[in-house]
Structure formats: C-alpha cells, structure tokens
Copies of this chain bind each other. A is one copy, B any other.
Amino acid sequence: MSSRVTIHMAASLDGYVARKDGSVDWLETSDEYLAGDDMDPEFVETFLNAIDCYVMGSKTYEVALGFEEQGFGWSYGDKPTYVLSSRELPKTRDSVSFYAGELAPFLNEQLRTSFDSIWVAGGPAVCTACLRLGLADEISYSILPVMIGEGISFFEAFGMDLPLHLAEVKAYKSGMVDLRYEVKKAAES
C-alpha cells in the first residue's frame, strides 16, 4: 500500500490554529526572512498538484466556505474533498462529499485504495483522532511568525507518546517554517 495520509495544519508559534471565535485573520503576517525560499505560484501549483484528495471536519469546511464568501476563493481546487460530518451542510460543488461513519475504515478501506496522497486539513479533533488511531503517516506543520496568546489548539490532548522522524525543514521568505515529520509506527519506534 503506497498511499500516504498527511495531517496538515498551519499554526501560530504558540500552537493555535484559530482564535477562540474561529477567526484566522492572524495568518496574514508581515515578516520577511531573507534566507528563506520563495513561495512562487509554480512552487505552490506543483505542491498542490501532488495532493490527490482532502479530508476535513465540518468546521474546517465551514471556514473554507467563509473564505470563499469573502472572495478569497476555494482552497482545494477541484480535488475530491471529503467532509466528515453528521450535520446537514451545503454541498457547494461536485468535488465535495460528506461522510458520517467511522474514520478508520473510511481512510483505510475507501480512501487509501483510491488515492496516493490524502491530506487531512483539520480541524484539531480530526487530526488528533488520526494520530490516536494510528491512521496518519506524516505530519506537515506550518509555523507562522506570530503568537496569538490564546485560541484553539491544533492538537487536542491524546494521552500517548508518538515518536516522530523529522523528514524535511523548509523556511520561506514570509517567515513561515514548514516541518514535515513521519509518524513512526509501533514496530519502528
């Protein structure tokens, strides 16, 4: 099985993915790190092209819809996007589907058999469940050059040790740092 499940989140240095009210205005930082890589449109396109589908919780979906309403566009292109929810939510495009069942069989039996690169785009509850259930192969963690003092944490307490392997470190001109870790499986750690 060559499929790969990557948990991705952008957070402040103090580990928050959103303010308590859910807002992410602070993602717009104004730093400049001269030694960093450029994040030009081609780089971003290549990066996004390598992702085959997205999985997210209902609140993350609603945040994405909110962005779109504000004119910032839809962040997930035409890639299949699976929203985990038992709530009724608007289906705004063909690429969006909803799923209300168990996470493990959905990822392992449905998505892994169809897609090579599966990105879990949040929120904290979904990401934490993936880690706790051993469903994730990688963590892609983007740290913005800001602290926001309080908010919603990326990681919910999940009460176990998870050894990681640092696989890649990239810093960008914007002052954002991307850390990529492989999750060590029980046998390796």
Contacts and interface: CB of A to CB of B under 8 A. Distances in A.
Contacts of A139: 13
B13 A141 contact: yes
A63 interface: no
A22 interface: no
A31 B175 contact: no
* Size band of the interface chain A makes with B: 35 or more
Contacts of A48: none
Main secondary structure, interface of A, reads: loop
A112 to B, nearest CB: 22
Interface stretch (A54-62, A70-78, A89-97, A164-172): A164-172
Interface in A3-59: 13-15, 26, 29-33, 35-36
Nearest to A19: B161
Given A146-B162, A149-B160, 7 more contacts: A14-B15, A14-B154, A145-B166, A148-B162, A149-B161, A164-B175, A165-B175
